[in-house]
Each structure stands twice: as structure tokens, then as C-alpha cells.
Amino acid sequence: MPEAAPGCDEFDPNAKTLEQARAAVLEACRTITQSEQVTLEDALGRTLAQPVHARIDVPPAAVSAMDGYALRAADATDGACLALVGTSAAGHPWDGELQPGQCVRILTGAVVPAGAELVIMQEQVQRDDESITLRNGGLTPGHNIRGPGSDTAAGSPLYASGQRIGAAEVGVLASQGIARVSVLRRPRVAFFSTGDELVPIDQSLGPGQIHDSNRHTLRALLSAYPVEVLDYGVIRDTEAEVSRALTRAGADADMIITTGGVSVGDADHVTRVLQASGQVGFWKLAIKPGRPLAFGQFGRAHFFGLPGNPVAVMTTFALLVRPALLQLAGRDATEPQTVNARLLEDLSKTPGRKDFQRALLETDDRGWVVRAAGGQGSHQLRAMSEANAYVVLPRESTGARAGDWVEVLPFREIFPEV
Ligand code: AMP
Ligand code: MG
């Protein structure tokens, strides 16, 4: 027998590192190729399946950037007096042609009349009934004019396929009069909780029971991604029920996420069913929280068997399910950005697993500082509400001292707002 490694409870030579697990997940979860047409209203958060080109110039004509007066450049001399011959308002162009010595009252967004070469701000003129007197000269052609296509020129490439449609993209597409776009089909994600102790949230608890919180957490986490969710509810701890649910999900979904039942206890049927009827990717992860975790394939779906403990659910979702979802949806799945922060208190740790401790990241006059937040048990979900980041302690680390610089993963990187 080899000598037990330090912290033998923590050390498992067969456990995968997070980096190995991420690589295996990204290798398996290929971007969905099917696409569909959706209205612009339904396009938010989706991924373009085809490149989009500008159809029209935006703005379509030269328009004024100011409320003022449109005139010829040759007339733009200090003290010049120009005859006021009309008004161009947004949506109501003046359709004459400006002659020398004339000006047109013009409002923001209104079309610049033919013959006019610049717009002078109303604050820079003296207005009389039928004329204006310039209080400023030397303005050059194009002054305060937004040229046609100065935002987007007709025919220019707007977006490549793979572009995520956010609020700005929705606006740009709308400005082009594009009402429907071709986007990648949303991955279908089936999820269920396993456990004989679990009771729906609208029922009171009997002896030994707890409310099923994981399924609600998962649904909330999934709402930030362009996915179609299939909620299979609570599945009891029997091989037959787990098998039935997985078979159904394996036929319906692109991804299955379960919580609980992935250890090697008597009630851990997910492990057994997956071993019997699916393909198992890996079982043990050298991270804390989140050691027992299954990844593989069941039917046509990628399978994530997350641990039962609620903090482990959120952590493994952020570290492994998130990149898988991003890649399935054709989005950038590169690792989230961490920051270095100065630790305000000692943190203890046993070597063997990369540790994600719940923490509060703040700034003080020295820059980023971080302290532990809430209880560190993997069942203490309330600490996730008190925290805004994880302190990431390396696998072999034995802890960190106050004053040390530590790696911190802010929640905003991994738990996007919905
Ligand atoms: P398991 O991985 O099934 O052994 O579960 C580990 C711990 O997580 C146990 O204390 C379970 O009661 C708890 N747990 C499992 N599933 C849920 C759930 N859906 N909601 C809340 N706690 C859960
Ligand atoms: Mg269980």
C-alpha cells in the first residue's frame, strides 16, 4: 500500500482536475448547427446563424445633429444676415433648394435641404421674424450634419454568424428594418432533482423531508441562457424511476442536468443507471465543493449529474455546465476572468482539491480586498447570497493568510444577471 497522501480524505489520485474536466466537457459539447427564423422580439440572447449585411444607409439621408439653421458654407461668416425661407422638421423635410443668402430652420434629425452645407446651432444666431444674423463664422461644410450611412452604410457587413444578439444588436437590426433573423436553435435542457427526502415547495414537510430547492436554483441559473427548459420535477431514489426519467430525457433533450444521487451510496441510482445504459465521462472532480460529479452521454443528450448539496450545484453549474451551454449555443466559452485581491483574514484549507470559498470582494484605498462570507459548508446556500465572489485556492494549497494576494472569481463573471 502506498503511503497515504497528506489530507488523505481529500486526496484522490483518480480525481480529475477542473481543467481536465472543462476540456472534456468542451470537447464533447459541440455547437448546435440547426437554425430557425425568429422575430427580432424573440432574438435577444440568441446567436446569429448567418451573417447579416446592412440593407440601407443609416441614417438614410443627411440629417441635422442639432436644432439650428441650415445654410451654405459661403454664407457662414460672422455677422451675416440670411433670409429664413422655411422649416425642416424630423419627418417633414423642406423640399426646396437653398439659394445663396438663405437659411432654413432645422430641427434635430430633420433632413438637410438641398443646397445647404452646414447647420449652425440656434444658440449661435440672433433670430428675427424673417431672418437670422450669425454670431459665429468660419464653420466648415458638414458642420452638425450626420451624413447618409454615417452610422451604417448600405451593403456593409454588420454581424458575422455566431454573434450574440444583445440590446445594441437588437437596436441596430431594428434600425435596418430587419424584423426576422436566422438564429441557432436553442438547446433543450431537461433537468430533475433526485431524492426521497425532497418535497415540492408548496407542500409542508414531514419527518426527514426537505424542500426541493435545487430544481428552482437550476431553473433560475438556466434563465440567463438561450435554452428551452424541460422540468421533469422530483424523481424518487429507485433505479426504475431514475432510469425512466433518463430515458425520456435522453430522447427529448440536448442536455440533461440532474442533482443528487451521484455518490456511491445505496440511494445513488443515477450513477448506476448511467453506468448501465449511458456513457460516463468522469465521476470525481478535484474541486470543493463539487467532488462527486458525473459527465457523459445518455441517449442523444449530454449528461451532467451534479451533486445534491445546493452550493455544489451552483458551483459546478458555473464551472462546467456554463461553458457547455455557451459552447452549445455558439458563444464564447473561454474561462471567466479572475482578479487578484488582498485577503483580509486567514482561510484554512486541506490540500487535495481546488477550493472555491464563498467570499465578499470589495475595494478599499489599496484596491481589491476579499474576506470570507457566510458558512463554508456545501449545504449552506445562504452564504451564496451573502457572497459576491469565490476565493480560488489552488489544489495543493494549505490555506492563505491575511495579507496574501489570492485569486478571486467574481460572481458577475459566472452568474450573469437576467
Ligand atoms: P446526495 O448527493 O443525493 O447524497 O445529496 C447530498 C445532499 O444534498 C443531501 O443532504 C440532500 O438532502 C441534499 N439535496 C439533494 N437534492 C436536493 C435538492 N433538490 N434540494 C435541496 N437539497 C438537496
Ligand atoms: Mg440523494
Name the residue type at position 393: L
CB 356 within 8 A of CB 409: yes
Kindly report the backbone phi and psi dihedral angles of residue 55, in degrees, each rounded to the nearest multiple of 5, phi listed first: -85, -35
Q: Report the alpha-carbon distance of residue 155 to residue 56 in Å, rounded.
A: 7
- Choosing from 309, 380, 384 the residue with most ligand 1 atoms within 8 A of its CB, the one to mutate for a pocket test is 309
Q: Which ligand is nearest to the CA of 260?
A: 1
Look at ligand 1, atom 14, and give the residue with the nearest C-alpha: 308
What residues flank ligand 1, with Cβ below 6 Å?
193, 195, 197-198, 210, 212-215, 259-261, 263, 307-310
The pLDDT of residue 283: 72
Backbone angles phi, psi at 50, to 5 degrees: -140, 150
- Specify the ligand 1 atom closest to the Cα of 268: 3
Residue among 191, 192, 210, 212 whose CB has most ligand 1 atoms within 8 A, to mutate: 210
DSSP letter for 378, please. T
Is residue 304 within 8 A of residue 258, CB to CB? The reply is: yes
Instruction: Give the nearest ligand 1 atom to 309 CA.
Output: 8
Amino acid letter, 271:
T
> Within its chain, how far is the Cα of 308 from the centroid?
25
pLDDT number for residue 181? 98
pLDDT digits (tens, 9 = 90+) for 355-371: 999 999 999 998 999 99
Nearest CA to ligand 1 atom 16: 308
179-223 pLDDT, tens digit per residue, is: 999 999 999 999 999 999 999 999 999 999 999 999 999 999 999
State the Cα–Cα distance between residues 32 and 48, nearest whole angstrom: 12
Which tens digits make up the pLDDT trace of 54-105? 999 999 999 999 999 999 999 999 999 999 999 999 999 999 999 999 999 9
Mean pLDDT on 127-133 = 97
Mean pLDDT of the chain: 94
Cα 21 to ligand 1 centre (Å): 22
**Best residue among 191, 214, 262, 306 to mutate for probing ligand 1, ranked by most atoms within 8 Å of CB:** 214
**How distant, in Å, are the alpha carbons of 67, 101, 116, 376 from that of 11?**
71, 88, 78, 19
Whole-structure pTM value? 0.91
DSSP 215-257: HHHHHHHHTTSS-EEEEEEEE-SSHHHHHHHHHHHHHH-SEEE
Q: How many residues in the chain?
A: 418
| In contact, 188 and 255? CB cutoff 8 Å | yes
Going by alpha carbons, the residue nearest to atom 23 of ligand 1 is 308
* Start-to-end C-alpha separation, the chain: 52
Nearest CA to ligand 1 atom 10: 309
6-19 per-residue burial string, b: 16 or more CB within 10 A, e: under 16? eeeebbeeebbebe
SS3 49: coil
Q: Calculate how far, in angstroms, residue 8's C-alpha sits from the geometric centre of ligand 1.
A: 24
Instruction: Evaluate whether 358 touches 384 at the Cβ level (below 8 Å).
Output: yes
Find cell 409542508 and name the residue. Answer: 204
Q: How many C-alpha atoms does 5 have within 13 Å on its Cβ side?
A: 11
> For residue 163, which amino acid is it?
Q
- Helices first, then strands: H and E counts in the chain: 9, 28
Residue 8 scores a pLDDT above 60 = no
Read off the pLDDT of each residue in 1-5 and give the average, rounded to a whole number.
Answer: 40
The residue type found at 78 is D
Return the closest-CA partner of residue 306 out of 259, 368, 348: 259
3-state SS, residue 323: helix
> 164 C-alpha vs ligand 1 centroid, how far in Å?
35
